[in-house]
Structure 1
């Protein structure tokens, strides 16, 4: 057991001291700080003054109504009545006296039309807002001209009352589903990235030790099986270190800005009023998913002797992870589909798909228990086979990159005994 901890600590310390680990951790922490302080950063780079747009009202009647409409909507720009000509207004924009110029008039049908002048029309926010408000004025004027009551038009354009009611008392409400969808998406993405990154890390680590002949020294002091599981858990601790750092920094900033982060984005992504059971299942399926793919990655990494061959051999594993993630993205909108139900019991898809179903639906416990049982059984079988392949694979040198080498590795494992 002492040898296990020696290999584990060596794996952990070697990884956390690498430049790639330090740089990626620092960049992610900066990203988290940036996201939690996004509004403060935006405010820092804005002077807080409203943009001023010159307005020439050739109709003599639309300008006041348009200004009232914009004021009621609390737009972040201001219309300033301009008494000069259109050409003088354009020159004022070019000399930066105004941010833009809007010229409004009536057409032959006595309906509004407008022209918008600005140095740069790449930013469409202001002109889109003005266009929308002018469209509303046009509808009001056209309604008045046709003799139709405005209240009737308002009723026509108002949204139809449409209530969704679940007959099953235990089913989630629409609001609960939206929150669950957000948090499930976030955790699925974290699981996807973790399995890809740390699975690749394990395979690369094993191949690096083989290529530098360090492996020969390691397996002479510890059995290959001990080495494999120490490697898997050591990398898991590396990932855990990063996750704890990210969560601690994120929680600290979220707690400091709790009053500013109520509703909106954070409500959609399930930060508020989320059931603790979702996080418990997230941890369970995260650990099971990691162990499943980490064992497979260690086994495949033991078959190669050169770093160049690692990506080729683990590509099928990566494709399975990508497929599971894509199916899960489909399942966010249709969690009760047959595809989602079936794949939630397939071991290599279950960590993501069953977690999605747990988060989105009210499932009977036996379904979740069956999926977890299949996962645990698959991990045990894969660990047994992986240990045998690893025992022989670490002794194989030369060009490699084929799954046929698994049979050769298992044969070497028997001879080694």
Structure 2
């Protein structure tokens, strides 16, 4: 048993000290901090970047109400009346004095029409703000033409009140669903990238030792089965080390900037308080998903003798992870779809799909428990089968052609008995 812990600690320490691990962790932490502070970063660069728009008002009546409308929306666009003519205004835009030129006029119904000129039509933000402001001005002018009062206009555009009521007992409220969606969304990415990255690392570790013939020395003192599980646990501890750092920094960084995270992404995926059970299930399905794919990666890695063949051998495993992730992304918008429920019991999809359903829906206790049981049984069966393949696979050298090598590895395991 001492040899098991020696291999485990060696796998962990050798990886955690590598420059690639340190650099990757630091860069990822920087990205996490940057993303959680994105609102502040954008605000810093935009604080003194108010855009000036030259306006030629052919009617002499539209500029003022448009300016008032932009003030109501807290727009940073500055509209300046330009009287020198369209040619001179276009030249001023080309020279960078203005960001764009807005020409205002009215149509046959005496309602606003406009032309917006800028150096590139990729300037979508300013165009959208101006279009929205002009739409409000047009609405007000049309209302005045048919003698609608402000109260009547407000009533006309007031959204229809539709209350959503869930008939299912103990169903999540809309606020709880939004909060759960945020955690599920983030942790699905964590599970996806962790499985791909660390399972690949295990396969690469085994293939590297085989290609350097270190395996021949190891198997003389430690059984291949101990080697496999020592490497799985060693890389597992490595992944936990990195993930604890990333999630810890990300959590505290988001908490610090929670007040500024409004609208867009954060209006859909809330990051408020979530239930303890959702977090517990996240940890359980992450760990079980890791061991499922790590065991698969370990014995697939044992079948190759060259590092160049690793990616080809584990491609089907990677496709399974990608398929599960894509199904989970779809399930975020429709978590109670029948095919999502059915596929959540397929072992290779269970870590992501069952966790997504637990987070988004109020499921009876037997469903996640059944999912956990399926994963445990799958891991045990895969570990038994994988250990037998691993035991023969580590003794195989030469070019790896296909998954037919699994049969050869099993035959070599039997011949040793």
Which deviates more, 303-312 or 139-148?
139-148
Does the CA-based 8 Å contact 1:202-1:235 persist in structure 2? Answer: yes
Aligned equivalents of 1:311, 1:6: Cα separation in 2? 28
Q: What is the aligned partner in structure 1 of residue 195 from structure 2?
A: 195
Aligned residue for 1:332, secondary structure, equals: helix
Aligned equivalents of 2:367, 2:385: Cα separation in 1? 27
Q: What is the aligned partner in structure 1 of residue 306 from structure 2?
A: 306
Aligned equivalents of 1:134, 1:325: Cα separation in 2? 43
Q: What is the aligned partner in structure 1 of residue 4 from structure 2?
A: 4
Which deviates more, 213-222 or 91-100?
91-100
Q: What is the aligned partner in structure 2 of residue 102 from structure 1?
A: 102
> 1:350 Cα deviation (Å)?
1.0
Q: What is the aligned partner in structure 2 of residue 330 from structure 1?
A: 330
Q: Deviations over 1:357-397 (max 9, x none)?
A: 11011111122211111111111111111111111111111
Q: Deviations over 1:17-62 (max 9, x none)?
A: 3333233222211101211222332233335252222222221221
Aligned equivalents of 1:253, 1:322: Cα separation in 2? 29
TM-score (normalizing by structure 1): 0.93
Q: For residues 107 and 28 of structure 1, do their structure 2 counterparts lie closer, same or farther at Cα, with a shift above 3 Å needed? A: same
Aligned equivalents of 1:32, 1:367: Cα separation in 2? 34
Q: Deviations over 1:141-174 (max 9, x none)?
A: 2333345566545444432221110122300112
Which deviates more, 54-63 or 18-27?
18-27
Q: How many residues align?
A: 417
Structure 1: gaps spanning 5 or more residues: none
> 1:302 Cα deviation (Å)?
0.8
Does the CA-based 8 Å contact 1:266-1:272 persist in structure 2? Answer: no
Q: Where do residues 72-87 of structure 1 align in structure 2 (5 Å cutoff)?
A: 72-87=72-87
Aligned equivalents of 2:218, 2:329: Cα separation in 1? 42
Q: What is the aligned partner in structure 2 of residue 214 from structure 1?
A: 214
Q: What is the aligned partner in structure 1 of residue 407 from structure 2?
A: 407
Aligned equivalents of 1:377, 1:49: Cα separation in 2? 59
Aligned equivalents of 2:335, 2:261: Cα separation in 1? 29
* 2:63 maps to 1:63: yes
Q: What is the aligned partner in structure 2 of residue 33 from structure 1?
A: 33
Does the CA-based 8 Å contact 2:69-2:136 persist in structure 1? Answer: no
Q: What is the aligned partner in structure 1 of residue 122 from structure 2?
A: 122
Which deviates more, 13-22 or 205-214?
13-22
Q: What is the aligned partner in structure 1 of residue 396 from structure 2?
A: 396
Q: What is the aligned partner in structure 2 of residue 318 from structure 1?
A: 318
Aligned residue for 1:74, secondary structure, equals: coil
Aligned residue for 2:399, secondary structure, equals: coil
* 2:382 maps to 1:382: yes
Aligned equivalents of 2:316, 2:100: Cα separation in 1? 56
Does the CA-based 8 Å contact 2:181-2:360 persist in structure 1? Answer: yes
Q: For residues 167 and 124 of structure 1, do their structure 2 counterparts lie closer, same or farther at Cα, with a shift above 3 Å needed? A: same
Aligned equivalents of 2:152, 2:407: Cα separation in 1? 78
> 1:256 Cα deviation (Å)?
4.1
Structure 2: gaps spanning 5 or more residues: none
TM-score (normalizing by structure 2): 0.93
Q: What is the aligned partner in structure 2 of residue 44 from structure 1?
A: 44
Aligned equivalents of 1:7, 1:364: Cα separation in 2? 42
Q: Where do residues 111-190 of structure 1 align in structure 2 (5 Å cutoff)?
A: 111-147=111-147, 151-190=151-190
Aligned equivalents of 1:254, 1:183: Cα separation in 2? 12
> 1:354 Cα deviation (Å)?
1.0
Q: What is the aligned partner in structure 1 of residue 346 from structure 2?
A: 346
Q: What is the aligned partner in structure 2 of residue 230 from structure 1?
A: 230
* 2:276 maps to 1:290: no
Aligned equivalents of 1:348, 1:166: Cα separation in 2? 32
Aligned residue for 1:45, secondary structure, equals: helix
Aligned equivalents of 1:406, 1:246: Cα separation in 2? 37
Q: Deviations over 1:56-114 (max 9, x none)?
A: 22212212111111111111111122333223333333343333222212233322122
> 1:218 Cα deviation (Å)?
1.2
Q: Where do residues 274-285 of structure 1 align in structure 2 (5 Å cutoff)?
A: 274-285=274-285
Aligned equivalents of 1:97, 1:209: Cα separation in 2? 64
> 1:261 Cα deviation (Å)?
4.3
> 1:240 Cα deviation (Å)?
1.2
Does the CA-based 8 Å contact 1:312-1:401 persist in structure 2? Answer: no
> 1:266 Cα deviation (Å)?
4.5
